[in-house]
A and B are shown apart, each in its own frame.
Chain A
Amino acid sequence: MKAVRRVLFVFALLALGPAPALAQEFEKVTGPLRQEIPAVPFVAAAYGIIWLAILLYVFVIARGVARVNGEIADLKRRVDTFDRQDRRP
């Protein structure tokens, strides 16, 4: 009977004490490790973003050049009109 009491006492101590941290333990990998971030999307994204930025910049410049050329043509026409008016007797 005394032995049973001792066993029960030990179990009670174990129950009241801190729970074993089974859920927080790290488990070792058994198969091949497949957790690495794939590199190809990063390389492709970096390359793509650089060329896209350059192409976008070319597009913006081309639009600017077209707009300014339009303005130049318009202003030249107005200057010519004034010149013709000046030449009239």
Chain B
Amino acid sequence: MRSRGIGFGFIAALAVAVLGFAFIPRMILSAPAEPTMGIVQKIFYFHVPCAFMLFLSTFVCAGGSIAYLFKSSEAGDRVAASAGELAVLFGACVLTSGPLWGRKAWGVWWQWDTRLTTSFLLFLMMVAYLLARRYGGPAGRKLGAALSLFAAISVPVVYKSVDMARTIHPKTTVVTTLDPRMRAAFWSSVLLMTVVWAVLFMLRLRLERARAEVAELRLAVEDAAEVPR
């Protein structure tokens, strides 16, 4: 059985997350304001990293699902389940912070434009993944795994949607054309969010392993109870 102790990697990641939590907001506040949108543009520094984490979670979930679907890997399924939950968490963060930004910048909470609609659909696919696992019965895990593959395929569509269609959402070029101080704050924020993601992923995976251990022990108890004495 695998040890359930907290590793050095987890503690280091947690320390970086705590330090980041203390310093990144200062960097964001000191970054220059955008002239058209003003202060509300600062939502960009955590809205976009959350979107990146949604993409990362979806890809990791799909990777684990591939291992589960084609190699019957239980470890792969545990990775997929953990990443799937994180995809929903970060998807919810993106779909909450985005409308707050939109209300101020565009005057409306929501627009059914390409980026917003595809992001919402990706989020729904990941919610469907979790629902399939939970309520799909014996085939639920496999059904969910297949769903997560479709979700991963839709990630590039979500990312490139702003370049492919007419939209009021900022295009992908805003990141490459950032002012150096804005760029530093943005990539620091991305790094922080990645570390937070890693910490959450490790915690969630630990829970999933512990649940697998419980299932094994239950079987052992049932076997032991059935042995005639």
Residues of A at the B interface (CB closer than 8 Å) are 37, 39-40, 42-43, 45-47, 49-51, 53-54, 57-58, 61-62, 64-65, 68-69, 71-72, 75-76, 78-79, 82-83, 85-86
Contacts and interface: CB of A to CB of B under 8 A. Distances in A.
B229 A85 contact: yes
B199 to A, nearest CB: 8
A82 B225 contact: yes
B203 A65 contact: yes
Main secondary structure of the interface of B (DSSP, over half): helix
A4 to B, nearest CB: 56
Contacts of A83: 224
Interface residues of B, number: 38
A65 B207 contact: yes
B46 to A, nearest CB: 6
Interface in B186-229: 196, 200, 203-204, 206-207, 210-211, 213-214, 217-218, 220-221, 224-225, 227, 229
Contacts of A37: 103-104
Nearest to A73: B217
Contacts of B97: 46, 49-50
Contact of B93 (A53, A71, A85): A53
B12 interface: no
27 contacts: A39-B40, A39-B104, A43-B43, A46-B46, A46-B96, A46-B97, A46-B101, A47-B46, A50-B50, A50-B97, A53-B89, A54-B93, A54-B196, A57-B89, A61-B203, A64-B207, A65-B203, A65-B207, A68-B210, A69-B4, A72-B213, A72-B217, A75-B218, A75-B221, A79-B217, A79-B221, A82-B221
